[in-house]
Amino acid sequence: MPDINVELPRDVTRIWDLQVPIVENKDERTISVYLHDTIDEPCVYNELCHTLDIAKASSTIKLYLNTPGGVMDTAFMVADAIERSKAQVIAYVSGTVASAGTLLTMVCDDIIIAPFTSFMIHNYSGGGGGFSKGHELKARQAFVDKQLNDAFKSFYLGFLTDEEMARVIEGTDFWMGTEEIQKRWNKHITQQNMPLLHEEQEL
């Protein structure tokens, strides 16, 4: 059999092949981040959290969201990084933004909503897994229920009414489109800023 020389293609990693593409435009002082997949394990978002932490106040971070949601622990980690960031973080939502994706939207400084966007808020889902004992599963479940319910009430303050929040906790899925998202966002921002305004008046 004759020898055949075959040149294998080199592995070329483009930024767009990454699960979380992060693109910096130094001229415009903007950083664009694309979350267009299921929100995965926390380690996937280390670079994003680092980017948010070191961003300057003069920078704008554009967070493009089109995601069905995913791991809630990851959403909490990224949300905390967004709230810590000195940069202005703007959510650009399009397609379907659901579950943990909506939670990330809530902590951004502003929101740009594409036409025909679908927004879905619901309670968490998951299982105990492993071989935990019955009493351990019950203790964990009770803790997670209270922890997440308290978190949801904080994140969606002003975006959902108290009645709607109670229904979400009970298992209702809330779907809304572009106009309703914008209307509720305006109310959410006002509600979130009220304690800050009160503190400023006291100074």
Asked if the model's pLDDT at residue 17 lies above 80, the reply is yes
Asked if the model's pLDDT at residue 71 lies above 70, the reply is yes
Residues 87-118 pLDDT 10s? 999 999 999 999 999 999 999 999 999 999 99
> What is the pLDDT at residue 137?
61
Higher pLDDT, 127 or 80: 80
* Over residues 134-163, mean pLDDT: 80
Which residue type, as a one-letter code, is found at position 171?
Answer: G
> What is the pLDDT at residue 128?
45
What kind and span of H or E run contains 34? strand 30-35
| Predicted confidence band of residue 201 (pLDDT cuts 50, 70, 90) | very low
> What is the pLDDT at residue 132?
55
* Over residues 114-127, mean pLDDT: 85
Question: Please, which residues have CB within 8 angstroms of residue 71's CB and are 6 or more apart in sequence?
Answer: 39, 40, 41, 42, 100
**CB atoms near residue 185 (< 10 Å):** 21
**CB atoms near residue 58 (< 10 Å):** 9
Domains of the chain with bracketed CATH: 15-202 (3.90.226.10)
* Over residues 128-149, mean pLDDT: 66
Q: What pTM, to 2 d.p., does this model score? A: 0.82
> What is the pLDDT at residue 150?
85
Asked if the model's pLDDT at residue 70 lies above 90, the reply is yes
Distances (CA, A) of 188 to 17, 20, 152: 35, 27, 13
Question: Please, which residues have CB within 8 angstroms of residue 57's CB and are 6 or more apart in sequence?
Answer: 86, 87
> What is the pLDDT at residue 180?
97
